[in-house]
Structure formats: C-alpha cells, structure tokens
Amino acid sequence: MRPPLTVGFDLDMTLIDSRPGIRACYRALSERTGTHIDWDLTITRLGPPLEDELAHWFPAADVAAMADLYREMYPGHAVTGTLAMPGAREAIEAVRAAGGSTLVVTAKYQPNAELHLTELDIPTDAVVGDLWAERKAHALREHGASIYVGDHTGDVLGARTAGAYSVAVTTGPCDAEELRAAGADVVLTDLTDFPDWLDGYLDTVRSA
C-alpha cells in the first residue's frame, strides 16, 4: 500500500509574494534604529534566514536583538502588504483533490508565517518555521512529505536531503538554470503549472 500523499511548500516567493510587506518592515526597522538598510536590495534575496540578511546591516553582536525586533514589528508592517502568488490556492487545492495533505516549511518565524496564511486564506494542514536549506528535511521527513515545492536552491537542498521529489518554481531569486544545477527534479514557471504537473506525476507513480 502506498503511503498517503503529503506535499510540502516553501512560503516566501513560492506561495506568497512577501516583497512589499518585507520591504515595508525593513524600512520601518531602519527608521526605528537609525541604521541604513537598503530595503530594495533586501527583497531581491529572500529565502535564507533573517539573521543572514541583518548581518549585512548590523554588527554581529546586535543581529540577534535586531531579529527579535524585526519579528515583533513584522505583523504591523508586513502581513497586510503581502499577496498570494499566482496559482497558490489552486496548488493547495490540487493536492487536496488528490487526497493528499499540505505542509509549509519555511525559514520564516512560524507565527508570522501562520499570520500570512490566515490573512490570505491559504489553508494548509501544517506549518513549520525557522528551517532553512538542509534543515528543512527534518520537517519534511517528520510529516512524510514525498514532494517539496520551492523557489530557491536552498529549497532544492532541503528536498534532496529529505529524499523528496524537488519541484522548483522560478518565481524567486533563482532562475531555472540555477535550480536545475542544484538538483531540482522539475522546474515550473510558477504554481499555475503545478496542478497539471501533479496530475501527470501521480499518473506516472500509479502506473509504475
């Protein structure tokens, strides 16, 4: 008997376009702390942990405190400015229509990730935050995810580490060539292509 289908999704630039909200939050953090932050640059490299970005703008000794402050400020600045990516809800529904469950695994602070999904009415069965790259494999394995969908080479690494099928979308900072070079099993333009891909993939699995 085949195990039940569980599909994991990354959050930022996979399910949601968080660039407007994150830009606003970095701007507010800059104004509050008096520290120069190029908020237009920050949103071109979403994916890695918050602390990695803050290390470009703050002394190492201050990064942890600034991360706490950013996360505290985030709900008031970033949630309402964020949009669902094209095809995000349909991708979730496609998994459910196939009898599967959905999981979000993200480097974002989990309570803020959950706020986004609630605000945008993107219902998922589980959310796990604060995981990046190969560490995402812990949650993927725990929830039995056989597919992981993301926009970054770090997401591909997480999928491969977990032994999950890596589906990449070119809606984030990494192009198709980078994603394939990282080991993505398939690269889609965006999530609007996902339902048809999933149907074909499941047909292949059933016939194998």
Residues 103 and 158 in one domain: yes
Q: Residue 2: its pLDDT value, please?
A: 54
Domain that holds residue 11: 6-17+84-207
Picking from 167, 168, 176, 164, the residue whose alpha carbon sits closest to that of residue 151 is 168
Residues 6+ apart with CB under 8 A from 22: 12, 42, 43, 46, 78
Residues 61 and 131 in one domain: no
Q: Residue 206: its pLDDT value, please?
A: 86
Final residue of a structural domain among 52, 77, 102: 77
Q: Residue 3: its pLDDT value, please?
A: 64
Do 206 and 199 meet the contact criterion of CB atoms below 8 Å apart? no
pTM higher than the cut 0.85: yes
**E strands along the chain, which residues?**
6-9, 16-17, 83-84, 101-105, 126-128, 147-150, 165-169, 186-188
Q: Residue 1: its pLDDT value, please?
A: 44
Looking up residue 56, the CATH number of its domain turns out to be: 1.10.150
Residues 6+ apart with CB under 8 A from 76: none
Mean pLDDT by 10 residues, the chain (208 residues): 84 97 98 98 96 98 98 96 96 97 98 98 97 98 98 98 98 98 98 98 90
